[in-house]
Amino acid sequence: MNDEQWKEKLTDEQFEVMRQKGTELPFTGDYWDTKTPGKYRCAGCGAELFDSDTKFNSGTGWPSFAEAKEGAVRFEKDASLGLERTEVVCAQCGGHLGHVFEDGPEMVNGKETAGKRYCINSCALNLEEK
């Protein structure tokens, strides 16, 4: 879709975050502290991205997950803000979701993880409750 089509589909905040690589303010999104079980889907295309079983409280003010669904996301280098980070984008529609860091927990909900912290903007997600 082109920018005009995305603007019709997404809210202003979603467009800024997902199509212009913005970031929502911490502790303001719908999902930063929710514990509701379910599947987190891309707000742009509906692709399944994360499961609530991998969500944890990182204290950062954004939803954090220990892992993404296999093949659901792509990684891109991000050198903005004078930092080297790894951007996380939806593999299906290319929407910016957030970033992934190597400082995640080794266990989430009794399951071993790879120590990743997917720090994701709430507005880039829709929760499909179980």
List, in order of start, the domains of the chain with CATH numbers.
Answer: 3-129 (2.170.150.20)
Tell me the HSE value of 128 on the side-chain side, using a 13 A CA sphere: 11
pLDDT attached to residue 82 = 83
Torsion angle, CA of 94/60/40/72, rounded to 10 degrees?
Answer: 40
Q: Report the alpha-carbon distance of residue 3 to residue 9 in Å, rounded.
A: 10
**Whether the Cβ atoms of residue 98 and residue 86 lie closer than 8 Å to each other:** no
pLDDT value at 83 more than 90? no
Active site residues: 119
Q: Find the radius of gyration of the CA atoms of the chain.
A: 14
pLDDT band at 94 (very low <50, low <70, confident <90, very high): very high
Q: Is pLDDT above 90 for 115?
A: yes
- Please, are residues 50 and 120 in contact by the beta-carbon 8 Å criterion? yes
pLDDT class for 80, splitting at 50, 70, 90? Answer: confident
